[in-house]
């Protein structure tokens, strides 16, 4: 049975998207991608959780001269429109929501609490969650810290890399390196579920060579003593591995098979066989000429002594090149 998994959507708020106080390029597109992903994969998760920066008086976290490392301009002010969830995420079937950073800096969702004052880890434990996926804004800060804390709390953790975005590419590279070294799995969302099962018993087209041979052997009117290509060349029966052998492994005399028959009926028989690219072992007596749409004089002598004058070729429209 699959482990119970939660999706933690970190700080997808207008304040961190284009036009917000700390807008990250690609924030709005990330919010839309997350919404699409959840819509398509909600059944894969036992719980959907959101986190929000919700600053009231975070002290030195705000600065009029921010360094954008430890200090920042005012953002995500509690109760403001920018602090609410992005509209693309707000419409999702969210099971729990935590807010963080009211009176101090807070980057990890595990520093947040819900309306009942429960910390995120307790919420997950009470729901029987065993694994988590993390997405949101920004990869280089709050997503990274939330993923690292989830791992420290004992949850196998994945970050779905295409459903997050860093403040800058340089900081994104540093964050991904730190998460990788800590043991956080980082994958793109199309690979999150439905991996190909390499242990599945799947048939390979063309792999059943024996079946092909059986079909050839069962072709009505042909025996299994050998077959040729369209040029009439003799081939090895694959079941024997012997040149000129039949299906039971017995050799046939190819020189004899290809030699010119002595009587006319045998010549007709050989012509029919070789013309189809098959080496026949059918005897002349096995052929019922009544099956052929050919008018033959009953008085014709099919012995080796038959003369050309015994045959009427007047019905044959053949004009050889001279």
Query: pLDDT value at position 73?
Result: 95
Q: What is the CATH number of the domain that holds 181?
A: 3.40.50.850
Q: Which parts of the chain have pLDDT scores under 50? A: 1, 196-212, 215-216, 218-258, 260-261, 268-269, 271-282
One domain, residues 186 and 228: no
DSSP per-residue codes, 246-278: -TTS-B--HHHHHSPPSSHHHHHHHHHHHHTT-
Domain final position from 136, 159, 191: 191
Same domain for 41 and 175, yes or no, is: yes
Residue-number span of the structural domain to which 163 is assigned: 5-191
Query: What is the rounded average pLDDT for all residues in the chain?
Result: 78
Regarding whether 219 and 175 lie in a shared domain, the answer is no
Q: Is residue 285 part of a domain?
A: yes
- Claim to verify: residue 168 and residue 249 sit in the same structural domain: no
Q: Write down the pLDDT at residue 194.
A: 74
- Classify residue 315: in a domain, yes or no: no
Identify which of 201, 98, 106, 91 has the alpha carbon closest to the alpha carbon of residue 145.
106
319 occurs within a structural domain: no
**Pairwise CA distance, residues 101 & 4, whole Å:** 28
Report if residue 222 sits inside a domain: yes
What confidence score (pLDDT) does residue 257 get? 45
Q: Are residues 297 and 157 in the same domain?
A: no
Residues 290 and 213 in one domain: yes
Are 156 and 15 contained in the same domain?
A: yes
- Give me the pLDDT at residue 69, please: 86
19 and 119 both lie in a single domain: yes
100 is catalytic: yes
Instruction: Give pLDDT, residue 253.
Output: 46
Which distant-in-sequence residues (6+ apart) come within 8 Å of 258 by Cβ? 234, 274, 279
Number of domain units in the chain: 2
Report if residue 9 sits inside a domain: yes
- Tell me, what's the pLDDT at 96? 98
Which among 191, 219, 248 is the end of a domain? 191
Strands (E), the chain: 5-10, 47-53, 96-100, 131-137, 157-165, 185-187
Q: Are residues 238 and 114 in the same domain?
A: no
Both 179 and 50 in a single domain? Answer: yes
The torsion angle over the Cα atoms of residues 239, 242, 243 and 245, rounded to 10 degrees, is -70
Instruction: Select which of 11, 133, 149, 237 is catalytic.
Output: 11
pLDDT at 300: 57
- Of 17, 53, 99, 142, the catalytic one is 142
Catalytic residue among 17, 53, 100, 237: 100
In a domain, 200, yes or no: no
Asked whether residue 106 is assigned to any structural domain, the reply reads yes
Question: Is residue 215 domain-shared with residue 178, that is, in the same domain?
Answer: no
Residue 238 lies in a domain: yes
Whether 17 is catalytic is no
Sequence-distant (6+) residues with CB within 8 A of 188 are 160, 161, 162
* 120 and 215 assigned to the same domain: no
Look at residue 314 in the predicted model and tell me its pLDDT.
Answer: 65
Q: Which of 161, 191, 221 is the last residue of a domain?
A: 191
């Amino acid at each position: 049975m699959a482990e119970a998994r939660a999706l933690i959507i970190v700080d997808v708020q207008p304040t961190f998207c284009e036009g917000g106080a700390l807008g990250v390029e690609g924030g709005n597109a990330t919010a839309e991608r997350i919404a699409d992903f959840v819509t398509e994969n909600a059944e894969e998760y036992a719980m959907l959780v959101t986190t929000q920066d919700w600053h009231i008086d975070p002290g030195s976290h705000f600065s009029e001269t921010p360094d954008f490392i430890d200090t920042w301009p005012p953002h995500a002010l509690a109760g403001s429109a920018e602090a609410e969830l992005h509209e693309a995420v707000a419409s999702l079937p969210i099971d729990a929501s935590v807010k963080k950073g009211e009176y101090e800096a807070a980057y990890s969702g595990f520093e947040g609490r819900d309306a009942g004052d429960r910390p995120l880890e307790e919420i997950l434990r009470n729901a029987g969650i065993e694994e988590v996926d993390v997405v949101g804004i920004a990869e280089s800060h709050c997503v990274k810290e939330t993923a690292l804390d989830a791992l420290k709390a004992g949850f196998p953790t994945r970050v779905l890399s295409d459903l997050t975005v860093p403040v800058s590419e340089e900081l994104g590279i540093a964050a991904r390196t730190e998460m990788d070294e800590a043991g956080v799995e980082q994958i793109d969302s199309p690979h999150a579920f439905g991996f190909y099962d390499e242990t599945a018993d799947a048939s390979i087209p063309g792999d059943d060579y024996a079946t092909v041979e059986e079909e050839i052997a069962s072709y009505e009117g042909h025996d299994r003593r050998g077959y040729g290509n369209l040029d009439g060349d003799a081939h090895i029966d694959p079941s024997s591995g012997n040149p000129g052998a039949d299906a039971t492994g017995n050799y046939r005399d190819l020189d004899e098979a290809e030699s010119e028959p002595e009587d006319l009926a045998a010549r007709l028989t050989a012509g029919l066989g070789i013309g189809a690219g098959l080496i026949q072992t059918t005897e002349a007596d096995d052929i019922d000429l009544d099956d052929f749409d050919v008018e033959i004089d009953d008085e014709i002598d099919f012995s080796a002594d038959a003369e050309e004058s015994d045959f009427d070729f007047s019905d044959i429209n053949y004009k050889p090149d001279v």
